[in-house]
Amino acid sequence: MTDNIPFIADLHCHSTASDGTLSPIDLVKRGISLHLSGLSITDHDTVNAYHEALPFAKEQSFPLLLGAEFTSLFDDQSIHLLAYAFQMDHPNIINLVERQKLRREERNRAVLKQLEERGFHLDYEELIPSKDKGVLGRPHIAAAMIRRGYVKNVREAFDKYLGDNKSCYVLSSAPTAEEVVSKIHEANGFIFIAHPHLIKKRRTLNGLLKLPFDGIEGRYAKMPPSRNKGYIQIAKERRWMICGGSDFHGERAYPVALGDSWTDEETFKKLYQRFTENNPQWQTT
């Protein structure tokens, strides 16, 4: 890095492999154009983005860190966990991704059934607006509802029907947080609690903090620094790493930009070193 450009690594963003609006390559291009120091595409329950993003990033000598945002269950709550630097072809990862894909399909069909009972008819195929779409979830259902004219925007779809504990919400049978933590560690990766600000019950967060995580997302673009501060302190008390990211999905999806939150240089280098040890063919720096 030059003296005039700060170190900013965004370790939380999404591509069209899940519910983002930019392709994996376009997301890397955006990171390069913004002079980011590093990036991790953390699509929901999949690593499909990396099949094209890693070769492109290597060509551009841009440090792209392997990552994913896995859904888990803890205390009967849906909890998102950020995994980084694991061995990409480890059997645990292959198994976890496949299980999550099947779980998501079951859940999506259950949500469509709930919507049908309320007079909103959607065919499953409508959730796939283009053949390059990867893992499907509630944002895709919301988009289909907008196309049908059932709701005006994504917020209305979630506030009235799809959001947690709303009328058409379905709690899926995701693996437990304990299982996801164990599987990522067995694949020699690091595992973080994602956006802890969104965990509503203090009891749930307190229970999670007893699990052997490697870190917590203590910098999150959608939360003010005053709220981030408490989670940074939690990490320091436990000697955990602190990651940060924008949770960027695309300009039309959420009011944040890529690079709006960040992970520091020391943490990124530690994660990236583990990634290249596990996947030496993708080392770029």
pLDDT digits (tens, 9 = 90+) for 231-268: 999 999 999 999 999 999 887 656 789 999 999 999 99
Model pTM above 0.85:
yes
Does the pLDDT value for residue 285 go beyond 80? no
| 86-96 residue pLDDT tens | 999 999 999 99
Give the lowest-confidence range in 43-47, 227-231, 234-238.
227-231
Instruction: Compute the distance between CA of residue 250 and CA of residue 53 in angstroms, rounded to an integer.
Output: 17
Instruction: Compute the distance between CA of residue 52 and CA of residue 36 in angstroms, rounded to an integer.
Output: 19
Instruction: Compute the distance between CA of residue 218 and CA of residue 192 in angstroms, rounded to an integer.
Output: 10
> 1 falls in which pLDDT band (50, 70, 90)?
very low
Instruction: Compute the distance between CA of residue 112 and CA of residue 242 in angstroms, rounded to an integer.
Output: 38
E strand or H helix at 77? strand 77-84
Pick the residue with more confidence: 179 or 4? 179
Percent of the chain with pLDDT over 90: 68
| 83-142 residue pLDDT tens | 999 999 999 999 999 998 888 888 889 999 999 999 999 988 888 755 455 677 888 898
What is the rounded average pLDDT for all residues in the chain? 91
Spell out the domains of the chain, with CATH numbers in brackets. 9-97+172-282 (3.20.20.140), 105-162 (1.10.150)
Instruction: Compute the distance between CA of residue 145 and CA of residue 91 in angstroms, rounded to an integer.
Output: 37
Bridge partners (DSSP) of residue 71 are 80
